[in-house]
Structures are given as C-alpha cells and as structure tokens.
Amino acid sequence: MASSFKIRKIAELLDARVVCGEQFVDNEINYAFASDLMSDVLTLESEQLVLITGLTNMQTVRTAEMADINCVVFVRGKKVTPEMIEVADENNTVLIECQYSMFRTIGVLFESGVNPIY
C-alpha cells in the first residue's frame, strides 16, 4: 500500500522553497521519480508523482504538464525561470527549488517513506 505525502511535507523535509503553486501544497503525492532525462519521465504511467530533477528548462515543465505530474523538485540549487513559472501556473504545477544534491534529496525522501515507482 502506497503511503501518500502532502507536497508541503516534501518541501519541509527538503528544507526547500515553493516558488510556484503555493495554493496546491496540500495536494498529495504517492510516488517519486528522479531523472534528468525527460524521455524516461514520459514513459511513466503513475499518478500523483513528484519529479526530482536537475534539468531546469521549459521542457521539464512541459514534460510535467503532459505526464500529469503535479509537483517538480529542482535540486542542486537550480533556479526556475519566469517563463517556467508562467507555464506551471497555467497547469497548476507546484515548482520547488531545493539546495540539496539529487542524491541527498532522494535519500531524505526515501528514508521518510516516499515510494519509488519501481
């Protein structure tokens, strides 16, 4: 049985900043997936997923839109651009900036009980 986490909790665990979609932080996520390759993200079938990535460009936000991903965590201190926020806003996507490395981010979430997809 998958345990679910509020997006707010994810941000707290990672000591990270919600930069877009603050009004959706009480929505729940069931799984996490980490990748800088959007092609892999586009093959996933899971729902209520948080994507963890170091890839900061429009394609990340577009991929989230097409794949019905409602929360993206950008790791390694990467900054989200105003254009990305515009598209994310339109699609009710929560964007989070995190200072941790991808390894640490994943480690913290995994240890806290966030489920992998596979």
Partner 1 sequence: MEFSYEVEGGNFAKAGNAASGVKKVLKQLNVDPKIIKRIVVALYEGEVNVVAHAYKGNVLVDIDTNRIYIKIVDEGPGIPDIDLAMQVGYSTASAMVREMGFGAGMGLPNMKRNADIIDITSKVGEGTVVELTTKLTS
Residues in touch with partner 1 (CB under 8 A): 36-40, 42-43, 55, 57-60, 62-63, 65-68, 83, 87
Q: Output 25 or 55, the one with its CB closest to partner 1.
A: 55
Q: Output 8 or 65, the one with its CB closest to partner 1.
A: 65
Give bridge partners of residue 49 from the DSSP assignment. Answer: 31
Spatial separation of the C-alpha atoms in residues 71 and 93, rounded to whole Å: 6
Nearest approach, Cβ of 103 to partner 1 (angstroms)? 19
Q: Output 11 or 71, the one with its CB closest to partner 1.
A: 71
